[in-house]
A and B are shown apart, each in its own frame.
Chain A
Amino acid sequence: MNVPDDLLYAETHEWIKREGENVRVGITDHAQSELTDVVYVELPKMDRQANAKEAIAVVESVKAASDIYAPVKGTVVEVNRALEPDPGLINREPYGQGWIFVLKIDNPDELKNLKDVAAYRKQIG
């Protein structure tokens, strides 16, 4: 299972990439393989404010709907519209074109609460 070294991870299987004042968020390779074929993505609304661990998007596979959580407190400044016509991007490129949203973070210190690659690897065994 692909777990890139340069990302942070949430216990709920989101990956988090720091981009200056923002974080880009998607779901991990492990998560997409557990979910199976993604067939629908409900993106968060632009400018929406969210607390850490608040459900703000939904990824639906053939089997089930799964909530996607804001990893830290912030404001939605970008959403990946390419997922609407092609939700399978999440399966094919979970760390690339399959990203879901970008949050402008309120407090960079909160990033310390996330897992590093070793901790996430350990979590998924």
Chain B
Amino acid sequence: MPVQYTSIIDEHQGVRNNVGIFDISHMGQLIADGSGAHAWLNTMLTNNIDKLNVGTGQYTFLLNEGGGIIDDLIVYRIEEQKFLLVVNASRTNEDFAWLDRHRPKHVDLTNRSADFGGVAIQGPRVVELFHALFGKNVDLPPRNHIVDFGFDGTNVSVARTGYTGEDGVEVFFRASDAARFWNTALQKGKAFGIKPCGLGARDTLRLEMCYPLNGSDLSPERNPIEAGLGFFVDLTKPNFIGRDVLLRTKDAGPQEKLVSFRMKEKGPPPRPHYSVFDNGERVGEVTSGTLSPSLNYGIGMAYVSAPHAKIGTQIDIEIRERKFPAMIEKKPLYKKS
């Protein structure tokens, strides 16, 4: 996926107002299959797989022994004991190696990333485009569900998921069908104002929603409690890798927290690694930042020491040795009006 096809801001607005299509073929697909896959994955991932019916997915984390985040991913239950893990491209091999190392003999684990292509179709007009692609009387899968559909003589899996804050689907197909699906979606999407969208718009869209990006906001040195993502961790599960550390972090309270902030004035956008100050004291560091095309202000996320992490705290972001005022705000930074 390129950074942009036409303009990040145009692509961003296209998704917020109409519909955009992203090539997500780079994402990794791992399949765990075999009796006991359910019980085993529940010891590897933070969210609770007991909650998943066949045909549904959930956001979850893969942690190291120290509770640090190896990857954030969506796990789909595609059969009773067969699971699809959609993982970050850059972590696919590491995720596979980690899972394989902990894998019981009776569970098969395969890396199918090279076999699958995928697109994300996101925006308020996705429902219309879906019907144009799959038929008027075909229902979209409900949120977080994944359903197989016939498409032009082939089979595709459609999940009602996304990374933009808009209604949307992610569609997975055989890699050899990728170009055909992409071209058809663009052609049928014309009527709905579809725009092909790149990594740049993917980043601004997700950051307005405060969805974390692995490698920036999440890392092996950070755990989900510090990242404010405890909702996707089920500490009532008896055992999963990293649980002990998360319990301790939760009991003691995290020393640093991932916060969302908005610049108070027009000015240079915040960027990763800029320092965060509270009354002249350095209290943290920016992990993601950009100019929000929807708000037309600089926005970002930062790890800030816990006493300074309250919503409403006035902070300063240091940009090229000057301080610019910002405020810690509630997630998400962008809400549809």
Interface residues of A (CB under 8 A from B): 36-37, 39-40, 42, 58, 60-65
Contacts and interface: CB of A to CB of B under 8 A. Distances in A.
B320 A62 contact: no
B320 A40 contact: no
B320 A42 contact: yes
A40 B271 contact: no
A42 B266 CA distance: 12
Contacts of A40: 267-269, 291
22 contacts: A36-B7, A36-B8, A37-B9, A39-B269, A39-B291, A40-B267, A40-B268, A40-B291, A58-B320, A60-B269, A60-B291, A62-B9, A62-B200, A62-B290, A62-B293, A63-B3, A63-B8, A63-B290, A64-B271, A65-B268, A65-B269, A65-B271
B268 A62 contact: no
User: Among A42, A60, A64, A65, which residue has the most Cβ atoms of chain B within 10 A?
Assistant: A60
A58 B9 CA distance: 20
Contact of B8 (A37, A42, A58, A60): A37
Contacts of A37: 7-9
Contacts of A39: 269, 291
| Chain A interface helix/strand/loop/mixed | strand
B204 interface: yes
B4 interface: yes
Contacts of A65: 268-269, 271
B267 A62 contact: no
B310 to A, nearest CB: 28
A41 B204 CA distance: 19
Interface in B224-268: 267-268
Interface string B1-35: 00110011100000000000000000000000000
Interface of B: 3-4, 7-9, 200, 203-204, 267-269, 271, 290-291, 293, 320
Given A58-B320, A62-B290, A36 B271 contact: no
B263 to A, nearest CB: 11
Contact of A58 (B200, B204, B268, B291): B268
Contacts of B4: 36
Closest 3 CB pairs of A and B: A39-B291, A62-B8, A37-B9
B88 to A, nearest CB: 19
Given A36-B200, A63-B8, A63-B203, 15 more contacts: A37-B7, A39-B291, A40-B269, A40-B291, A58-B320, A60-B268, A60-B291, A62-B8, A62-B9, A62-B204, A62-B269, A62-B290, A63-B3, A64-B271, A65-B269
A41 to B, nearest CB: 9
User: Among A37, A60, A62, which residue has the most Cβ atoms of chain B within 10 A?
Assistant: A62
Nearest to B199: A63
B291 A62 contact: yes
A40 B263 CA distance: 14
B229 to A, nearest CB: 25
A60 B9 CA distance: 14
Nearest to A41: B268
A62 B4 CA distance: 11
Given A58-B268, A58-B320, A65-B268, A36 B291 contact: no
A43 B271 CA distance: 19
Contacts of B267: 40
B324 to A, nearest CB: 11
Contact of A63 (B200, B268, B320): B200
Nearest to B198: A36
A61 B204 CA distance: 12
A51 B140 CA distance: 61
Contacts of B8: 36-37, 61-63
Nearest to B291: A39
Given A62-B9, A62-B200, A62-B204, A36 B3 contact: yes
